[in-house]
């Protein structure tokens, strides 16, 4: 293990004594998206590469080789765009439009931002460009602009946003859309739903989304090639997925799992928190809805359900709550605006993690072998929660369906039934059992693409086929036409033979 890491480090060092120049662009300005992007770029910076990151947030004490283009004001614009997901988010056919509308708005704001315009007008080059995949077709132009290999980072597993550009198999018969709460295998009607949505979302992508992104690029970069000539030239996709959490599905060679790259071994907690966890004789439950959702904005009736359920527990509950006061807070509940989540989950007294089902929290829980109770609110949180229950290390209740009885029942089940802890530990072993750690994988594969000038040998031949060729429609039509032609020929031949025979008989 150590020898492999050493050899990979040596190969990376030989890449370039001064390190490569790498640009990271993260237009989706949610806090969790930035934390993921900055973690990724810091890994590369720590290896000695000179990195530049374009994002809405900034680091107070960045490394010397960590350059920042800060899109000041972008985070506030996202807050204005997003609805209250506790109240409004549900499955509708307009969802592909709404996500694309939000992404288009954020990308245009970035293209039009003063700091971005200053940066883009500097004559400079990069060895690789890393972009977050969040309906970011227009952003992919920037790799072409800098004449650099394009590397995509996806905060999830493979999905409808990544698969088309890698020609990765995406069969709706057994791969649920990441917005759905379907488990594998799906029922017949779930497969019907999944298939129809698959066709629907892809038609929207091709007929509506890509043309909108292309117009945006032409507006800010006149004379740029059509996006169809750019968006399929992806050298590598770094997936925030892991075999311990995600379902096994096919992936082309250019797709690499690096789930857990942000994880670190626990460090000592602040003294007051350390004492709380050490002294919790009945154990600790940690509850957080992440950085995007705010527990303080949830409906009052749901908050009261949580507090009543917590008051029945003997465990201490650490509740990430953004307000300083929480009326009706039980004595066993401790609230704070922020907790060092991963370090808390690494403490031996933590018995359960109550989460919204975000992938980073799920990965952290599995890494530390902690069972989860998920309360998904929107997007891929449902799929992550379904997987936790399917894999036996947790339970889930959709937030909109949360009741006191359901919550109490699920809490008691996960806390008292040892199978959840056993399965969480099993999944933890799977996550840790790797030839190289995810951080080293990030460095190796980014450097691999740079060393191999874009790694074009990874490109799947299917990307050069028209859609009807990929689906073998031309072959099917040819074969059907051949069969029809043979049948017609045989039919006419038989008619001709019979006619001749009848004529001969009449002459006789």
Q: What are phi and psi of 336, to 5 degrees?
A: -150, 155
Rounded CA separation 282/284 (Å): 7
Rounded CA separation 344/284 (Å): 9
Q: What is the mean predicted confidence (pLDDT) over 283-287?
A: 97
- The two tokens of residue 250 are 């096919």
**H or E element in which residue 80 lies:** helix 74-81
Judged against a pLDDT cut of 80, whether residue 150 lies above it is answered with yes
The predicted pLDDT at position 102 comes to 87
Banded model confidence at residue 479, pLDDT cuts 50, 70, 90: very high
* pTM reported for the whole predicted model: 0.90
Rounded CA separation 239/255 (Å): 7
The predicted pLDDT at position 89 comes to 54
- CA dist list (Å): 442 to 42, 152, 312, 341: 11, 12, 45, 23
With beta carbons less than 8 A apart as the criterion, state whether 84 and 297 touch: yes
Share of the chain above pLDDT 70, in %: 94
Judged against a pLDDT cut of 70, whether residue 15 lies above it is answered with no
The predicted pLDDT at position 264 comes to 83
Could you check whether the bond before residue 185 is cis, i.e. omega within 30 degrees of 0?
Answer: yes
The predicted pLDDT at position 288 comes to 95
The predicted pLDDT at position 12 comes to 45
The predicted pLDDT at position 187 comes to 92
**In this predicted model, which residue has the larger pLDDT, 215 or 183?**
215
**H or E element in which residue 129 lies:** strand 128-132
Judged against a pLDDT cut of 90, whether residue 428 lies above it is answered with yes
Banded model confidence at residue 434, pLDDT cuts 50, 70, 90: very high
Judged against a pLDDT cut of 60, whether residue 144 lies above it is answered with yes
pLDDT of 35-91, one tens digit each? 999 999 999 999 999 999 999 999 988 989 999 999 998 877 777 666 666 766 555
pLDDT of 91-134, one tens digit each? 567 778 888 888 999 999 999 999 999 999 999 999 999 999 99
DSSP 370: -
| Residue 180 burial (CB count, 10 A) | 17
Any residues with CB less than 8 A from the CB of 349 and at least 6 apart, and which?
A: 277, 278, 280, 283, 284
- The b-or-e profile of 361-385 (16+ CB within 10 A means b, else e) is bbbbbbbbbbbbbbbbbbbbbbbbb
Q: What is the mean predicted confidence (pLDDT) over 143-168?
A: 95
The predicted pLDDT at position 52 comes to 97
């Amino acid at each position: 293990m150590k020898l492999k890491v050493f050899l990979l480090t040596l190969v990376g060092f030989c890449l370039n004594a001064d390190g490569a120049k790498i640009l990271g662009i993260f237009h989706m300005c949610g806090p969790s998206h930035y934390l993921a992007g900055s973690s990724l770029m810091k890994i590369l910076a720590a290896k000695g590469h000179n990195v530049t990151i374009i994002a809405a947030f900034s680091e107070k004490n960045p490394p010397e080789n960590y350059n920042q283009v800060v899109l000041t004001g972008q985070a506030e614009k996202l807050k204005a765009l997003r609805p209250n997901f506790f109240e409004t988010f549900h499955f509708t056919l307009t969802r592909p439009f709404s996500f694309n509308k939000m992404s288009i708005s954020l990308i245009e704001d970035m293209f039009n931002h003063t700091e971005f315009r200053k940066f883009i007008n500097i004559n400079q080059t990069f060895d690789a460009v890393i972009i977050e995949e969040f309906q970011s077709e227009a952003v992919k132009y920037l790799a072409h602009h800098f004449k650099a290999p394009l590397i995509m980072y996806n905060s999830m597993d493979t999905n409808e946003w990544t698969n088309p550009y890698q020609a990765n198999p995406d069969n709706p018969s057994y791969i649920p859309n990441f917005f759905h709460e379907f488990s594998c295998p799906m029922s017949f009607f779930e497969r019907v739903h999944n298939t129809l949505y698959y066709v629907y979302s892809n038609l929207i992508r091709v007929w509506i989304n890509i043309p909108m992104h292309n117009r945006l690029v032409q507006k800010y970069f006149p004379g740029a090639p059509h996006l169809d000539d750019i968006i399929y030239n992806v050298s590598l996709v770094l997936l925030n997925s892991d075999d311990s959490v995600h379902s096994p599905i096919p992936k082309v060679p250019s797709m690499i799992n690096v789930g857990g790259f942000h994880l670190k071994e626990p460090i000592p907690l602040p003294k007051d928190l350390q004492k709380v966890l050490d002294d919790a004789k009945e154990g600790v439950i940690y509850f957080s809805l992440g950085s995007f959702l705010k527990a303080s904005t949830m409906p009052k009736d749901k908050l009261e359900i949580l507090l009543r359920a917590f008051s029945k527990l003997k465990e201490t509950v650490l509740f990430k709550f953004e307000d300083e006061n929480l009326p009706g807070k039980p004595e066993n509940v401790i609230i704070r605006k922020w907790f060092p989540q991963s370090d808390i989950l690494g403490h031996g007294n933590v018995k359960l993690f109550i989460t919204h089902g975000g992938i980073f929290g799920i990965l952290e829980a599995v890494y530390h072998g902690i069972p989860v109770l998920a309360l998904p609110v929107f997007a891929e949180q449902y799929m992550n929660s379904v997987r936790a229950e399917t894999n036996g290390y947790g339970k889930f209740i959709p937030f909109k369906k949360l009741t006191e009885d359901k919550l109490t029942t699920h809490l008691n089940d996960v806390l008292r039934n040892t199978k959840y802890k056993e399965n969480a530990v099993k999944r933890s072993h799977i996550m840790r059992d790797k030839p190289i750690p995810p951080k080293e994988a990030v460095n190796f594969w980014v450097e691999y693409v740079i060393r191999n000038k874009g790694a074009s040998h990874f490109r799947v031949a299917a990307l050069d086929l028209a859609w009807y060729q990929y689906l073998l429609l031309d072959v099917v039509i040819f074969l059907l036409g051949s069969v029809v032609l043979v049948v017609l020929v045989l039919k006419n031949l038989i008619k001709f033979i019979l006619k001749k025979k009848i004529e001969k008989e009449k002459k006789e």
